[in-house]
Amino acid sequence: MNASLTVIANPAARRASKKKIDRAVSLLKAEGFEVNVLFTEKGGDAEVYARQLVSENPHFVLAAGGDGTFNEVINGLAGTDVPMAILPLGTTNVLAKELSIPEDVEEAINRALRGKPQKVSLGKITFSQGVRYFCLMAGIGYDGQTVNNVNKRIKKYSGKGAYILSGVKTLLSWKPELLTIDIDGKRYHGYSLIVSNSSKYAGNFRVAPDASLKEPLLHVFLMHGNKRLDIVKYTLGILSGRHLKLKNITYIKAKDIEVKGTAHVQVDGDYLGKTPASLTVVPDAVKLIY
C-alpha cells in the first residue's frame, strides 16, 4: 500500500504526548501508509493544515487532540470528500464519546483503519465575524460565557476543573440580556440556549438525548429563566438527565435559528464570539471515520 495520510496533532491537548503520537504513527506505518505529521502551534493551525491537505487527496486525515482540534479539522474538510478519523487526546473528548471511539491509542487507530467513512450533518453558525461549522453543539448565553471565562492555565493542569470553576464565577456575575430567538419562523424569548447537533455534551451528559449526527436536524434546548437559581436548576437537570422535564424551558427540533440580542457563544467547547447569529443544519457536510 502506497497511500498517504496526515496526522494533525495538537501538542497542547491535555492528554497529548509525544509517546502517544509516535505510537499512533508507528501503527499507521505498520499498515503500509506513508505518514506525515503536522503539529499545531496556535489556534487555527489545524483548520489551515486541513484545507491545504484537500488538494493532496490523502487516504484520510487523523486529527489528534481534543474537540477544539476536531472542530478545526472539520472546518477545513467540510464540503470535501476527504475523511477525518480521530485520536482522542483532549480534556473531555465529546466527539469520541459520541462516536464510541476509545481513548486508548491502539483501539482508536484500529477504528481509524477499520472504520467506515460516513457522511454526517454539521451545524453552521453565521455571525458578524464569519461562518463556523460545529459538529457537537453551540452554547449561547451562560454556556458561552462560561467557556469564555475559562482560565487556560488552570485548564492545562486541571482539565474539567477549570470549567467548573469558570461556571461558578460566571454564575456569581450572571446578568443576562433577553434574547429573541426565531426557530423555523416561530418566535421565542429566553436567556440561554444550547443548539445540539449530537446527543453528548460535556462528556457523557445528554442535552439532546435523541439527536444524531446522521439526522439533518438541530435540537434546541432553550432556557427562559434569568435568575441564578434558574441556572442551578438547569445545570442540575442536565447532570441528572431530567432537564427536559423542567417547566421554564423549550426543547424543539429545528433547521433554521436566528438569535437576536447580545450573548456569548461557544462552539464545540471553544469560545467563538457574540450574537446576533444565525444557525442552520448542513446535511452530509463532512465524512467521519468511526
Architecture of the CATH domain 123-284: Sandwich (2.60)
So what's the pLDDT on residue 213?
Answer: 98
Question: Would the pTM of this model clear 0.85, i.e. be above it?
Answer: yes
**Among 122, 135, 89, 132, CA closest to 108:** 89
Give yes or no for a contact between 188 and 178, defined as CB atoms under 8 angstroms apart: no
Kindly state the cell numbers that stand for 225: 429563566
Between residues 151 and 21, which one has the greater pLDDT?
21
For the chain, counts of helices (H) and of strands (E) = 9, 18
Residue 276, preceding bond cis, omega within 30 degrees?
Answer: yes
Q: By percentage, how much of the chain surpasses pLDDT 70?
A: 98
Which of 26, 96, 22, 34 shows the shortest CA–CA distance to 65? 96
Query: CA angle at residue 20 from 14 to 24, to 5 degrees?
Result: 130
Architecture of domain 4-115: 3-Layer(aba) Sandwich (3.40)
For CATH 3.40.50.10330, the residue range(s) in the chain are 4-115
Taking the C-alpha atoms of residue 166 and residue 173, their distance in angstroms, rounded to an integer, is 11
Average pLDDT over residues 256-274: 97
List the grid coordinates of 188. 421565542
Cell numbers at 134, concatenated: 460545529
List, in order, residues 6 or more apart from 84 with CB less than 8 Å away. 50, 60, 61, 62, 63, 70, 73, 74, 77, 286, 287, 288, 289
pLDDT tier for residue 18 given thresholds of 50, 70 and 90: confident
Mean pLDDT of 213-218: 98
Q: CA-CA distance, 217 to 235, in Å (whole number)?
A: 24
Secondary structure (3-state) at 29: helix
Every domain range in the chain assigned CATH 2.60.200.40: 123-284
Angle formed by the axes of helices 67-77 and 45-54, nearest 10°? 30
All three cell numbers of 232, joined, read: 442551578
Closest C-alpha among 36, 35, 46 to residue 13 = 46
Tens digit of each residue's pLDDT (9 = 90 or more) over 62-115: 999 999 999 999 999 999 999 999 999 998 999 999 999 999 999 999 999 999
Residue 34 near residue 4, CB atoms below 8 Å: yes
- pLDDT band, residue 2 (cuts 50/70/90): low
DSSP E strand boundaries for the chain: 4-9, 34-39, 61-65, 84-88, 117-127, 130-134, 137-140, 179-183, 186-190, 192-196, 200-201, 205-206, 218-223, 249-254, 256-260, 264-267, 270-274, 277-289
pLDDT at 109: 98
Mean model confidence pLDDT for the chain: 95
pLDDT in tens, 152-198: 777 776 677 888 899 999 999 999 999 999 999 999 999 999 999 99
Query: What share of the chain in percent tops pLDDT 90?
Result: 90
